[in-house]
Amino acid sequence: MCTAATYLTDHFFFGRNLDYERGFGERVTVTPRSFPLPMRHLNEVTQHYAMIGMASVQAGYPLYYDAVNEKGLCIAGLNFVSSAAYRPCPAEGRGVAQFELIPWLLGSCAGVDEACRLLEGVCITDDAFLPGLPPAKLHWLLADRQRCVVIEQTADGLHIYDDPAGVLTNEPPFPLQMFQLNNYAQLSARPPENRFSPALPLRAYSRGMGAMGLPGDLSSQSRFVRTAFTRLNSASGTGVAEGASQLFHILGAAAQQRGCCVLEDGNCELTLYTSCCDADTGVYYYTTYDSGHVSAVDMHREELDGAALISYPLDDVWHVRLQN
């Protein structure tokens, strides 16, 4: 399971938790402008915007989990196993394979509005990337500084939903996630008032009681509510350090610790990494489960007019600074 969120100060930040029981050799990967993007049902894209994000590189191709392009358009794919419905490419219309969607949108579009127009009439297809590697069932959070949307293809077709909460988790479909926020309209970051009865001398005996009832479990619906509350009530100063730090804290409210979510086979789901990309500067920050140290890759220090992928293994060493 996963959680993704946006955060806006004087910079625009986009990040996610990747929650799973094991990794797939993911690396921070830069796709330069001339790296060819073959398409199963459309013409190959030979020139496009550069992008950086987390990807598993298979057969020389970046299977992105989340990424940002040089124009500040960001996207993350999250598990949507019960509801995602891909189809064969229609005889009429345009088909985009699930694994092509992120590089195709980021390579082609400078913003969300342009991406939404590009998606008109598109079917996300069920093509496997390789034999034995079926398409992951996902939905996507797509955002820029001005707008945030959710992309879902379910049994009744492709949907694009505006996302005023700036958050996405997994199941259920996004409209149901948003509807559940109605159950928490009484929550507040401020101290509670006694509305139970004026006949009783009820008082707040602790700080933070205005948010009593905020769900604390690890289910996707509860993580959606908790992250939306944290994000929408979050406050930070300006500058990269404060904004990025705040988004790491927002996502930390939904992080999974080893041993707290045990799967049927006995493995434990945990937050393998947390990312935070500064969409204004093209710097991709991340932490891993075994390292609270923030690492960063700046895509503008790479050769963005090249044709070869650039990728970096994750820095998952536990960094400890000792005082003399």
Q: Could you read off the pLDDT of 115-136 as tens digits, one per residue?
A: 999 999 999 999 999 988 889 9
pLDDT given at position 133: 84
Q: Check: CB of residue 269 under 8 Å from CB of residue 19.
A: yes
Does the structure show a pLDDT above 70 at 219? Answer: yes
pLDDT band for position 65 (cuts 50, 70, 90): very high
pLDDT given at position 318: 63
Alpha carbon distance 14, 61 (integer Å): 23
Nearest of 120, 114, 121 to residue 146 by alpha carbon: 114
Average pLDDT of the chain is: 94
Please give the share of the chain, as a percent, with pLDDT higher than 90.
Answer: 87
pLDDT digits (tens, 9 = 90+) for 70-87: 999 999 999 999 999 999
Residue 123 annotated among the catalytic residues of the structure:
no
Q: Pick the catalytic residue: 2, 89, 123, 277?
A: 2
Q: Average pLDDT, stretch 98-126?
A: 97
Q: Please name the amino acid found at residue 104.
A: W
pLDDT band for position 208 (cuts 50, 70, 90): very high
pLDDT band for position 47 (cuts 50, 70, 90): very high
pLDDT digits (tens, 9 = 90+) for 145-196: 999 999 999 999 999 999 999 999 999 999 999 999 999 999 999 999 999 9
Residue 278 burial by CB count (10 A; 0-12/13-18/19+): exposed, middle or buried? buried
pLDDT given at position 323: 52
pLDDT given at position 1: 74
Does the structure show a pLDDT above 90 at 54? Answer: yes
Answer yes or no: pTM beyond 0.85: yes
Does the structure show a pLDDT above 60 at 324? Answer: no
pLDDT given at position 291: 87
pLDDT given at position 31: 98
pLDDT given at position 23: 86
Alpha carbon distance 3, 11 (integer Å): 21
pLDDT given at position 124: 97
pLDDT band for position 92 (cuts 50, 70, 90): confident
The radius of gyration of the chain's CA atoms, rounded to the nearest angstrom, is 20
Residue found under tokens 């879902």:
152
Residue 186 burial by CB count (10 A; 0-12/13-18/19+): exposed, middle or buried? exposed
pLDDT digits (tens, 9 = 90+) for 4-40: 999 999 999 999 999 998 888 899 999 999 999 999 9
pLDDT given at position 321: 53
Please give the share of the chain, as a percent, with pLDDT higher than 70.
Answer: 97
